[in-house]
């Protein structure tokens, strides 16, 4: 892939997973990227690491296209997952009125301005109830599948089960299903 300064084609989609370090959001993005590649799409993924001393923000962006992705940086998000308040400012400039924003109701007190559709869900609380707050990333992935039409939920779930460590498969399956269910109930409301 050659770096260019062209913006993405209008047919492309852009998705961000963001929160604080250690929430496993890069893995969530990687699972979605792998699942989309299996569906025949091109996906560019990027993330940034700050000096540990600055703490905090973790984010991974996907740019998806039916053609090779010439410009792999997010410019306007179709969807964003925000699991920590620290990640809110970093979204500024990337949000539109029709961005779907999924925010963790227990971790984000002031959602970003801009999107008309902000879906506040108890992501980490749900992970904790299932048995481990560390599967919040997979609860969020299930919720994203339920709230958007980016990918078939069953296909995404199958790739997820292949990419998480074998001994955490059951709890991640439960986490994904809980996130999907929460999202579907919200869709029906």
CA dihedral 128, 133, 135, 140 (to 10 degrees): 80
Site stretch for a second copy (CB under 8 A), options 1-9, 111-119, 142-150, 180-188: 1-9
Q: Footprint of a second copy on residues 155-184 (CB under 8 A)?
A: 165
Among 12, 23, 28, 45, binds a second copy (CB under 8 A): 45
22 near a second copy, rule: CB under 8 A: no
- Least separation, in Å, of the C-beta of 137 and a second copy? 15
Instruction: Show the binding pattern over residues 46-75: x = contacts a second copy (CB under 8 A), - = does not.
Output: xxxxxxxx--------------xx--xxxx
Q: Footprint of a second copy on residues 23-42 (CB under 8 A)?
A: 26, 30, 33-34, 36-42
Residues 6+ apart with CB under 8 A from 112: 80, 82, 88, 91, 92, 95, 101, 118
Q: Is 76 exposed, middle or buried (0-12, 13-18, 19+ CB in 10 A)?
A: middle
Q: Do 94 and 111 meet the contact criterion of CB atoms below 8 Å apart?
A: no
Q: Footprint of a second copy on residues 77-106 (CB under 8 A)?
A: 90, 93
Q: How many residues bind a second copy (CB under 8 A)?
A: 35
Q: Do 128 and 166 meet the contact criterion of CB atoms below 8 Å apart?
A: no
Report helix angle 25-38 to 153-163, nearest 10.
Answer: 120
Residues that bind a second copy (CB under 8 A): 1-3, 5, 26, 30, 33-34, 36-53, 68-69, 72-75, 90, 93, 165
């Amino acid at each position: 892939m050659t770096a260019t300064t062209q913006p993405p084609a209008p047919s492309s989609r852009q998705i961000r997973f963001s929160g604080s370090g250690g929430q496993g959001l890069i893995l969530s993005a990687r699972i979605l990227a792998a699942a989309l590649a299996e569906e025949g799409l091109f996906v560019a993924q990027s993330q940034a690491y700050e000096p540990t001393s600055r703490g905090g923000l973790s984010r991974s962006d996907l740019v998806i296209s039916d053609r090779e992705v010439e410009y792999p940086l997010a410019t306007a998000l179709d969807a964003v997952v925000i699991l920590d308040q620290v990640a809110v400012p970093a979204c500024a400039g990337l949000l539109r009125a029709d961005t779907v924003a999924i925010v963790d109701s227990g971790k984000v007190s002031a959602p970003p301005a801009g999107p008309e559709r902000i879906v506040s869900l108890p992501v980490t609380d749900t992970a904790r109830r299932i048995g481990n707050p560390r599967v919040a990333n997979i609860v969020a992935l299930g919720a994203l599948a339920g709230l958007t039409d980016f990918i078939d939920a069953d296909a995404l779930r199958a790739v997820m089960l292949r990419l998480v460590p074998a001994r955490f498969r059951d709890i991640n399956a439960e986490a994904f299903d809980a996130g999907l269910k929460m999202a579907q109930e919200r869709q029906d409301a």
